[in-house]
Amino acid sequence: MAIEHLTLEDNSQLDVDFGQFIAKGGQADVYKGTYKTETVAVKVSKDAIAKEEMIKESQMLDNFQDSQHIIKKRAFKLGNTVAFLALELAAEGDLYKATEPSKKLSGDKKVKFMLQIAHGLKELHAKGIVHGDLKAANVFICKSEIARILKIGDLGSAYEEDSPFSGRKANGMCIDPALFATASAKPTKETDMYSFAMTVKQLYGERLPKDKKTPTTSFKDLGVPNAYIAKLEACLSPKLTDRPTAAALYEEFKTTAGARTCSCPIQ
């Protein structure tokens, strides 16, 4: 299948057989495809800026080929006008769709998923990478032989914390409002922690309002176990120094989950 807005040269440069359209994003369209013998998701950049962001995303993903909770890269190629990024296909889609009322995730499953997101964020931060757009729609559900495994994906807004930030700021209810207080504000590991807490609200069924001034449901009213609430609320603190690191939060949550005899796949 050829993609309409690509040149013939573009279509010939990626060794992927394109299949059905999956999703439309701000910087890329996503298609199902076949790379070698594997069914993959293929991102196709939309413009010159998105092309540069996809080059950066591909380079970052090279650091996580052995990660359990970061989406894995399968192939990358620059076309004449666009970039192509082939990724492992999340067979069960994204977390946002999995938290629709009809899905009815169990409480134990929600705790497991929360831990897996925290683990993925810990891995990113350990490499000095800020995600910049963490939300349920950017967390994907893959299947192993024994379990469903969450993996953080869509690093299009990510950047290395020690590098100058020159990308586009993501927007949305999971993004820390402080990022838009000044033009010079840039995403940080601390703003990622804000996004993590808001993603947990989505995991527990919250459909976040479009207006940031509208209060969201409390963690307690969403049914988050009490043992996790204090740390999650700290992630939302206006004072950045009050927010836990991803590593500290993950270790505390892992200990808490063990105390609750929750058999979480959280290596």
Confirm whether 110 is domain-assigned. Answer: yes
Q: Are residues 190 and 80 in the same domain?
A: no
Confirm whether 57 is domain-assigned. Answer: yes
Task: Give the start-end residues of each E strand in 56-201.
Answer: 73-78, 83-88, 129-130, 139-143, 148-152, 159-160
Task: Give the start-end residues of each E strand in 9-122.
Answer: 16-24, 28-35, 38-45, 73-78, 83-88
Confirm whether 108 is domain-assigned. Answer: yes
Number of other residues whose CB lies within 10 A of the CB of residue 5: 11
Q: Are residues 111 and 74 in the same domain?
A: no
Q: Are residues 202 and 72 in the same domain?
A: no
Confirm whether 264 is domain-assigned. Answer: no
Number of domains in the chain: 2
What is the spatial distance between Cα 191 and Cα 217, in angstroms, rounded to a whole number?
A: 20
Q: Are residues 196 and 108 in the same domain?
A: yes
- The CATH number that applies at residue 24 is 3.30.200.20
Supply the range of the domain harboring residue 54: 8-88
| SS3 call for 120 | helix
- The CATH number that applies at residue 113 is 1.10.510.10
Contacts of 114 (CB under 8 A, 6+ apart): 200, 203, 228, 253
Q: Are residues 118 and 231 in the same domain?
A: yes
Q: Are residues 72 and 101 in the same domain?
A: no
DSSP symbol at 6: S
Q: Are residues 184 and 226 in the same domain?
A: yes
What are the angstrom distances between the C-alpha of 264 and each of 83, 166, 256? 37, 38, 11
Q: Which one of 88, 106, 122 terminates a domain?
A: 88
Closest CA to 261 of 120, 50, 112, 85: 112
Per-residue pLDDT tens digits of the chain, which is 267 residues long: 444 444 434 555 556 777 788 888 778 999 998 888 899 999 999 888 889 999 999 999 999 999 999 999 999 988 778 899 999 999 899 999 999 887 889 999 999 999 999 999 999 999 999 999 999 999 999 987 667 899 999 998 999 998 888 777 888 899 999 998 888 899 999 999 999 999 999 999 999 988 777 889 999 999 999 999 999 999 999 999 999 999 999 999 999 998 554 444 544
How much is the pTM? 0.90
Q: Are residues 104 and 66 in the same domain?
A: no
Q: Are residues 228 and 131 in the same domain?
A: yes
Confirm whether 199 is domain-assigned. Answer: yes
Q: Are residues 69 and 114 in the same domain?
A: no
- What one-character-per-residue DSSP string does 162-190 give? TSPP-SPPP-STTS-GGGGTSTT----HH
Q: Which two tokens stand for residue 223?
A: 């049914």
Number of other residues whose CB lies within 10 A of the CB of residue 96: 16
Q: Are residues 120 and 213 in the same domain?
A: yes
